[in-house]
Every structure is written in C-alpha cells, then in structure tokens.
C-alpha cells in the first residue's frame, strides 16, 4: 500500500502540508517542468494530500524536490485543492520551519527553486523566516467591472508569484464574523473577471482576490481578506498577495523602497514587509513565523473509494 509522509505547519493560522517522502518521481527538469509532469501524470496525489477527507480547501500542499542547482537548498512545488501555485509565501515560511524540524537546515540563508523562479530565504531564531520573493508588478490599474449584487468594483491586476485582483473601491468590514459575506463578494468578483475575460499575462486566470481595509492595531498599516483558488480565505496575510499589493502601492507612489509595510490578515496574523525597486517591478521581502503542527503518514487503502480525495 502506498504511503506518503507529510509534515504540517501553519503560518499565521494558514496551514501547509509538505510531502517529505513517498511523493512522485518528477525527473530532474526545472520546477516548472516538474510541475507540468505532476499535473499531467500524478494529479491524484495532489487531491489525495489536500482535498477532503484528509484536507480541505484551506490547505496548501508542497512537494519537496531535489533542486536543479546544487547551490539551492531545495525545490518546491506548491498546490491546493483547485490546482498548482506559482509560489506561496506562507507555504515557503512553513517549508523552512519544516526543513529545520527535520534537521536538514540551520539558521541562515537558503535559496529555493519554485516553478516561477528562485527565491532567497533566511531562517531566523524563533521560527521566523524572511523571504525575498520573485519580482512582482502591476499589470493593469483601476480595472472596473460590474459585480452582480454589488455594483461596480475597481481594482488592480497584479503579479506576486500568483495572479491577484487587488480591490480598491470597497470599504468592507474585515472581521472574521463577516467572512461569509466577504467570501461571497470575492467569489462574485472572480466570476465577473472571468466573464469579462480579464486575466493575467497569456490568459492566465486571476484566481486570488484581495480586499483591503484599515489595520486593527495602530502599529500595522493594513488588514486584508484574500480569497484563494479553492474558495477559502487565507488565514495568513498571503505572501504572494502582499507582494502584489506592494507592487500596486509602489506603482501609485504610496510606498517608497525600503519603507516598512505591516500587513495584518483577517485573523490578525502579521507579515512585516518592504520592497526594493527593480525598474517597473518590485522585489518584495516578507517576514513571518510558522509552527509545526503534525507529522503524519498518509495511507492509501486500495479499498477506500475516497483514497485520492473527494473531487470538487
């Protein structure tokens, strides 16, 4: 019977499940090439690991890979119940703490290969991790769409390792108790973007939607709500989403290179961020904290009709 060993962690409340043993052999190509092989030949492993009954839409999975470049510490392919991710900020923080838990890395700098590029990370004391994300940018500013039941919504399309629509004109109550309304609103925004064929480059789907509002704590700059591709909300401030937001703030002249941006999530967890300018793009740096929550062996009983997950 096939078995897969995973380590679970959470970053600001958002869970990450890293496959550390028993995952598929995807060869020795780049992480982008291996992600294609994962998708085309082993997709049942994705659903088995993160979909119900073992997981749910909240989970982000990651397949730990040997890197192509021996100067890198590891390669990683992130995925969720809907598909595969280019990058994942909270997942990267979870991965670093997982590698430390396994005794595979010590505090210090480590490069990681992802399907969208190599990123630099620094493991610090107390489970803190700083990551320098892939270059991020705003593709389109002030895109206006009609969202049935909610009226006109204006936002920016931006890349932070995944595609985001950063809403600008709504002042919603970003409280956890308001989550059903926020989820319904952001799902309708995503549907409208699809109906109007508003996409990232090469027609790539904008699958993450972000709302912003005032921070609850005076020392922070903003609170967010992020709808993720599976349909749940990010419990963390969303590393790739905050990178996209930094790109929009920089493009609007609202945040200077090196200035601090403290991003609160809907549950109140925090990423401390800043960026460096790179022409029209920004190079975001984010710091967060993750904790190990479980070590398990996933068992796939051939008699179990849901061994590869409930396909939604």
> Would you tell me which residues interact with ligand PYC (CB under 6 A)?
14, 60, 88-90, 228, 234, 236, 238-240
Q: How far is the CB of 256 from ligand PYC (least distance, A)?
A: 23
Q: How far is the CB of 14 from ligand PYC (least distance, A)?
A: 6
Q: How far is the CB of 20 from ligand PYC (least distance, A)?
A: 20
**Whose Cβ is closer to ligand PYC: residue 121's or residue 228's?**
228
Active site residue 88: yes
Q: How far is the CB of 90 from ligand PYC (least distance, A)?
A: 4
Catalytic residue among 88, 166, 248, 273: 88
**3-state secondary structure string, the chain?**
CCEEEEEEEEECCEEEEEEEECCCCCCCCCHHHHHHHHHHHCHHHHHHHHCCCCCCCCCEEEEEECCCCCCCCEEEEEECCCCECCCCHHHHHHHHHHHHHCCCCCCEEEEEEECCEEEEEEECCCCEEEEECCCEEEEEEEEEEEECCCEEEEEEEEECCCEEEEECCCCCCCCHHHHHHHHHHHHHHHHHHHHCCCCCHHHCCCCEEEEEECCCCCCCCEEEEEECCCCCECCCCCHHHHHHHHHHHHHCCCCCCCCCEEEECCCCCEEEEEEEEECCEEEEEEEEEEEEEEEEEEECCCCCCCCCCCCC
Active site residue 166: no
**Whose Cβ is closer to ligand PYC: residue 245's or residue 307's?**
245
**Whose Cβ is closer to ligand PYC: residue 73's or residue 232's?**
232
Catalytic residue among 65, 238, 248, 273: 238
**Whose Cβ is closer to ligand PYC: residue 8's or residue 307's?**
8
**Whose Cβ is closer to ligand PYC: residue 186's or residue 236's?**
236
* Pairwise CA distance, residues 40 & 33, whole Å: 11
Q: How far is the CB of 148 from ligand PYC (least distance, A)?
A: 26
Active site residues: 88, 238
């Amino acid at each position: 019977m096939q078995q897969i060993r995973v380590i679970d962690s959470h970053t600001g409340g958002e869970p990450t499940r890293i496959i550390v043993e028993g995952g598929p052999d995807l060869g020795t190509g780049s992480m982008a090439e291996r992600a294609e092989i994962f998708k085309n030949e082993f997709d049942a492993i994705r659903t088995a690991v993160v979909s119900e009954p073992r997981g749910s839409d909240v989970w982000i999975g990651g397949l730990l890979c040997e890197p192509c470049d021996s100067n890198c510490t590891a390669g990683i392919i992130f995925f969720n119940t809907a598909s595969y991710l280019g990058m994942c900020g909270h997942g990267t923080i979870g991965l670093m703490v997982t590698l430390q838990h396994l005794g595979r890395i010590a505090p210090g700098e480590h490069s990681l290969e992802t399907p969208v590029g190599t990123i630099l990370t620094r493991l610090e004391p107390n489970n803190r991790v700083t990551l320098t994300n892939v270059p991020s940018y705003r593709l389109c500013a002030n895109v206006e769409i009609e969202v049935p039941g909610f009226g006109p919504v204006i936002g920016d399309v931006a890349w932070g390792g995944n595609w985001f629509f950063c809403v600008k004109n709504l002042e919603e109550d970003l409280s956890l108790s308001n989550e059903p309304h926020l989820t319904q609103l952001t799902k309708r925004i995503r549907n409208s973007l699809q109906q109007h064929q508003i996409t990232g480059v090469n027609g790539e789907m904008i699958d993450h939607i972000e709302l912003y509002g005032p921070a609850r704590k005076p020392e922070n700059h903003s609170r967010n709500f992020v709808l993720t591709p599976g349909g749940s909300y990010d419990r963390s401030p969303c590393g790739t989403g905050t990178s996209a937001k930094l790109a929009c703030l920089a493009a609007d002249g609202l945040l200077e290179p090196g200035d601090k941006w403290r991003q609160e999530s809907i549950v109140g967890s925090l990423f401390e961020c800043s960026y460096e300018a790179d022409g029209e793009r920004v190079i975001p740096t984010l710091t967060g904290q993750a904790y190990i929550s479980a070590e398990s062996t996933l068992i796939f009983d051939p008699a179990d009709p849901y061994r590869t997950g409930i396909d939604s």
